[in-house]
Amino acid sequence: MEERILEFIGDLRRAELRISTSEALDALSASAEVGLTDRETFKSTLAATLVKESRDLETFDRIFNLYFLDLEALGEGLKKALGPEDPKVQDQLDQVLDQENMDLDELTELLMRGQGSEMEMAIRGGAQGAGLERLMYFLQVGYFSRRISDQFDWSAIERDIEKIMQALEAKGLDPGQLARIRNYLELRLEAFRRMIRQHVQRELERRAYRAGEQLTREVLSDKPLFALTPDEVAQMKSVVAKLARRIKDALALRQRQEQKGRIDSRKTIRKSLQYGGIPMEVYLKRRHREKPRLITVCDVSDSVRNASRFMLQLVWSLQECFSRVRSYVFVSEIAEVTQGFNNFPVERAIEWALKGAPVDYHCRSDFGYAFSRFANTELDSLDKKTTILMLGDARNNYNDPQAWALRLIRERVKGIIWLNPEGQWGWGIGDSVMPLYAPACDIVRECRTIGQLGEVVDNLVHSWWRRGR
Amino acid sequence: MFESVEEVQHRFRAARYIASRRISTVVFLAARMGRPVLIEGPAGVGKTELAKTLSDVTSRGLIRLQCYEGLDEGKALYEWKYAKQLLYTQLLRERIGELIADAPSLPEAVSRIAGQDDAFFSYRFLSPRPLLQAIRADDPVVLLVDEIDKAEPEFEAFLLEVLSDFQVSIPELGTVKAKHVPLVVLTSNNARELSDGLKRRCLHLFIDFPNPTDELEIIRLKVPEIPEKLAHAVVAAVQKIRGLELRKPPSVSESIDWARSLVILNARELDPTLVESTLTMLVKYEKDIERVKGALDKVLAETK
């Protein structure tokens, strides 16, 4: 059983649950404490020792159900597959087996008397040598089922059955009864073959599940954002949410660690009076640190809408990390969408910002016009604590780039970070005016995938914290 | 302490706590393996109650450490009674003077005073805080570390050290080893992520809102005078309300309060006016109340 548990742990790890060796050891000793008699208890035991994040419980449940089959339920299923049990026939068989003291193959014995669960265990035993780890596609099911059945000595079973039939015949049963018994045995044999096939199918499901899960996650993080299908956009939302959570957790830890600073002499001296002027207790100054203010400015024309969506989601999920977040969207007209985020949950606010804000979504993007408008109306509200996070491909449709506006904005703020969802090779080619805008920006990054986006935001949050001491 | 998971379940029940299979399993393992249990879950599902019941059932004393931001070793483990030490030295000034009066040199005087260290650094001047109390207790205890997520990560690291070998070293006195390994229960509302080390060390238990059957049983147990029909109606309504995406969905403790207040009002069944007037027992935010009022038909649909 220990091996099964370890293998199960391997499966969990592949599904990206973090399980340490000590936890694996705990699981083993804990399951030894409770035993295996009750499935629910066993499951709770593994969950308590292995799963330390409540959000991982769902994954755990799914993998557990695939891995530790409900043998009782399986036995029920098998009974159904066999049709109604024939107690009379079973009686006769048992009698003959007892009386004749026959030397039967183990497997025959199992077929005669065994329950579904024992049969399943036998199949597992057989499967060990069959190289199931190479099972990946549905088309392989037949092949591997055959490989497993090759592990069993079918001819021995058939010989045994003949032997039994002869013994029964010798006892003087009439042909009708004999036919019934033979039929019964053959049905059992058939069911066993079917169980082998089912076992392989389940194994495939297990593998497909973990491979699929991992694949989507990896591929999604590296897939160009403009190429996402609607389905993938939906999946991506949860990827972004996870990313946000990770950044936040890391930050919370760091924030606390860095809080202690130099000696607070005033407080220390005041406290020392209690001990006659001896500084028994030393007080440290708490570092005062300002959270960055952030303004996001997103191009929401068709070509970069996905990138904008995820950046907005990420930034607004990290709201606590900034003292203030304001968001603007533009195609050529620019509009503030902050109020949406204050009133709606993030998801809905993003939908609104991408579709319902007071800008014309169908015209051609004009960065120059948007920046000059922004400089005209918002310049006074900018200050040196603010960082601007710009997202756009800088494809200006041959309009006037008006780079002066961006330079003007830069003078008023702490910095401008430009994220470009287009590959670096395209900057400056065709109607791209990235090279004109780049000098006004502190950082210009390619941001084609969610992975890159995460990196940039992570850096932003952390480095700004460090610098802001 | 417990022979089987079933025994845990029965004894908790006898102590008026409905423990699901999952909860009883974890409690059983914790007792068997001497491991701390980390309980997570929304507020008001009986996390703290579990620790209290555990202390009841095992007839062990309960020592509680409530965590908050800024909690440090001094408040959790032990503290020297500085003021008392200072006062004593003042009072004993003459005795100390005598002691060093005939010392030929300063180093000699210092070492004579150092020889008296034990007098001032002894348990007499030590005020033990919950953790040290739990470790030094003569009888086995249950230690409840409540809302660990409210304390800082450094404290967590320090706690981890205490929990991993149940000993504390006090520089002046030496190492204090636990006479009995306490049963430790930590609770967290998930305000922040706990460190991996602590999680690794603990058995993990997630308590969610109970399913209808369990909740019905809890209400019957805690409000025994409730009419059967009303109990069913209350559970059905509460379960519905939890599905409404509220800012703070009603927890078990709130549904118990609600059931109690309904009983006091002599209610036989739920009708809209009654629910509306008692809703504040169940839902605590203005916006949430509005929401529930808006969906009252749906909430009460199946309670008749």
Per-residue 3-state assignment (H helix, E strand, C coil) for A155-185: HHHHHHHHHHHHHHHHCCCCHHHHHHHHHHH
Lowest-confidence segment of A65-74, A374-383, B25-34, B260-269 by average pLDDT: A65-74
A21 reaches B (C-beta below 8 A): no
More confident residue, B53 or A287: B53
Distance, CA of A14 to CA of A218 (rounded, Å):
13
B206 reaches A (C-beta below 8 A): yes
**Would the pLDDT of A86 be above 80?**
no
CB A453, CB A314: distance < 8 Å:
yes
Quote the tokens at residue B118: 């034990």
Residue A235 resides in a domain? no
Phi, psi of A388 (to 5 degrees): -105, 130
Same domain? A6 vs A33:
yes
Residue A233 resides in a domain? no
Q: What is the pLDDT of residue B145?
A: 93
Nearest to B199 among A38, A40, A52 (CB): A52
More confident residue, A255 or B179: B179
Question: Cβ contacts (< 8 Å) between B26 and chain A: which residues?
Answer: 44, 48
**Would the pLDDT of A365 be above 90?**
no
Interface test with B, best of A9, A43, A54, A254 (most B CBs within 10 A): A54
CB contact under 8 A, B33 and A33: yes
- Which neighbouring-strand residues pair with A420? A446
CB A341, CB A352: distance < 8 Å:
no
Provide mean pLDDT across the span A96-106. 71
Distance, CA of B140 to CA of B63 (rounded, Å):
11
Same domain? B247 vs B277:
yes
- Which neighbouring-strand residues pair with B80? B126
CB B272, CB B296: distance < 8 Å:
yes
**Would the pLDDT of A456 be above 70?**
yes
Which residues are CB-contacts of A390 (< 8 A; sequence separation ≥ 6)?
A: A296, A297, A416, A417, A418, A419, A441
Which strand (E) or helix (H) includes residue A425? none
Smallest CA–CA separation between A272 and chain B, in Å?
12
What's the number of domains chain A is made of? 4
CB contact under 8 A, A249 and B200: no
Provide mean pLDDT across the span A368-393. 88
Q: Interhelix angle for A230-257 vs A305-317, to 10°? A: 30
Decide the pairing of beta strands A260-263 and A284-286. antiparallel
Q: What is the pLDDT of residue B264?
A: 92
Same domain? B115 vs B83:
yes
Same domain? A251 vs A391:
yes
Question: Cβ contacts (< 8 Å) between A44 and chain B: which residues?
Answer: 21-22, 25-26
Residue A187 resides in a domain? yes
Same domain? B68 vs B165:
yes
Same domain? B54 vs B87:
no
Provide mean pLDDT across the span A153-182. 81
Q: What is the pLDDT of residue A59?
A: 82
**Would the pLDDT of A457 be above 80?**
no
**Would the pLDDT of A69 be above 90?**
no
Same domain? B152 vs B269:
no
Provide mean pLDDT across the span A17-34. 89
Residue A116 resides in a domain? yes
Q: How many CB atoms lie within 10 A of CB B198?
A: 21
Provide mean pLDDT across the span A425-454. 86
Q: How many CB atoms lie within 10 A of CB A155?
A: 9
**pLDDT, mean over chain A:** 78
Which residue from B145, B154, B167 is spatially nearest to B197, judged by alpha carbons?
A: B154
Same domain? A282 vs A412:
no
Q: What is the pLDDT of residue A71?
A: 59
Query: In which band, very low, low, confident or very high, does the pLDDT at A261 lie, cut at 50, 70 and 90?
Result: low
Predicted-complex ipTM score:
0.83
Same domain? B220 vs B288:
yes
Smallest CA–CA separation between B62 and chain A, in Å?
23
Which residue from A398, A454, A419 is spatially nearest to A299, judged by alpha carbons?
A: A419
What residue numbers bound the domain in which A283 lies?
Answer: 259-288
Query: In which band, very low, low, confident or very high, does the pLDDT at A288 lie, cut at 50, 70 and 90?
Result: low
Q: What is the pLDDT of residue A469?
A: 35
Which residues are CB-contacts of A267 (< 8 A; sequence separation ≥ 6)?
A: A283
Quote the tokens at residue A284: 């440290």
Q: What is the pLDDT of residue A94?
A: 74
Query: In which band, very low, low, confident or very high, does the pLDDT at A293 lie, cut at 50, 70 and 90?
Result: confident
Distance, CA of A293 to CA of A326 (rounded, Å):
8
B82 reaches A (C-beta below 8 A): yes
Provide mean pLDDT across the span A417-439. 88
Distance, CA of A128 to CA of A400 (rounded, Å):
70
Residue type, B173: L
Same domain? B94 vs B167:
no
Distance, CA of A146 to CA of A148 (rounded, Å):
5
Q: What is the pLDDT of residue A217?
A: 59
Provide mean pLDDT across the span A212-236. 66
Residue A29 resides in a domain? yes
Residue B53 resides in a domain? yes
Distance, CA of A60 to CA of A11 (rounded, Å):
10
Which strand (E) or helix (H) includes residue B169? strand B167-170
Which residue from A335, A363, A377, A368 is spatially nearest to A437, judged by alpha carbons?
A: A368
Same domain? A297 vs A283:
no
Interface test with A, best of B206, B208, B246 (most A CBs within 10 A): B206
Residue B95 resides in a domain? yes
Out of A161-165, A202-206, B139-143, give the one with best mean pLDDT: B139-143
Each residue's pLDDT tens digit, A122-131: 777 777 777 7
Domain final position from B148, B180, B206: B206
**pLDDT, mean over chain B:** 88
CB A173, CB A164: distance < 8 Å:
no
* DSSP string across A209-243: HHHHHHHHHHHHHHS-GGG--HHHHHHHHHHHHHH
Distance, CA of A398 to CA of A364 (rounded, Å):
10
**Would the pLDDT of A463 be above 70?**
no
Quote the tokens at residue A183: 């039929």
- Which neighbouring-strand residues pair with A263? A284
In chain B, DSSP finds a helix count (H) and a strand count (E) of 17, 9
Provide mean pLDDT across the span A260-283. 79
Residue numbers in chain B where pLDDT is lower than 50? none
- Which neighbouring-strand residues pair with A418? A390, A444
Decide the pairing of beta strands A260-263 and A386-391. unpaired
Quote the tokens at residue B215: 């909740």
**Would the pLDDT of A132 be above 80?**
no
What residue numbers bound the domain in which B101 lies?
Answer: 78-125
Selected residues 126-185 of chain B with any CB under 8 Å from a CB in chain A: 152-154
Distance, CA of B195 to CA of B149 (rounded, Å):
10
CB B53, CB B11: distance < 8 Å:
no
What's the number of domains chain B is made of? 3
Out of A15-24, A202-211, A242-251, give the one with best mean pLDDT: A15-24
How many contacts (CB atoms, under 8 Å) link A and B?
Answer: 76
Helix (H, G, I), strand (E, B) or coil at A413: coil
Distance, CA of B194 to CA of A65 (rounded, Å):
28
Provide mean pLDDT across the span A202-227. 65
Which residues are CB-contacts of A404 (< 8 A; sequence separation ≥ 6)?
A: none
Helix (H, G, I), strand (E, B) or coil at B141: strand
Residue type, A212: G
Distance, CA of B70 to CA of A426 (rounded, Å):
53
Distance, CA of B236 to CA of B45 (rounded, Å):
17
Q: What is the pLDDT of residue A37?
A: 80
Residue type, A386: T
Which strand (E) or helix (H) includes residue A133? none
Same domain? A134 vs A172:
yes
Q: What is the pLDDT of residue A286?
A: 66
Distance, CA of B134 to CA of B128 (rounded, Å):
9
Query: In which band, very low, low, confident or very high, does the pLDDT at A25 lie, cut at 50, 70 and 90?
Result: very high
Distance, CA of A378 to CA of A381 (rounded, Å):
5
Residue A374 resides in a domain? yes
CA atoms within 13 A on the CB side of A198: 15
Which residue from A437, A6, A450 is spatially nearest to A228, judged by alpha carbons?
A: A450
Phi, psi of A391 (to 5 degrees): -130, 120
Which residue from A259, A257, A254 is spatially nearest to A283, judged by alpha carbons?
A: A259
More confident residue, A85 or A188: A188
Same domain? B226 vs B120:
no
Domain final position from A68, A83, A112: A68
pLDDT-above-90 percentage for chain A: 6
Nearest to B152 among A20, A41, A256 (CB): A256
Smallest CA–CA separation between A199 and chain B, in Å?
29
Q: What is the pLDDT of residue A468?
A: 42
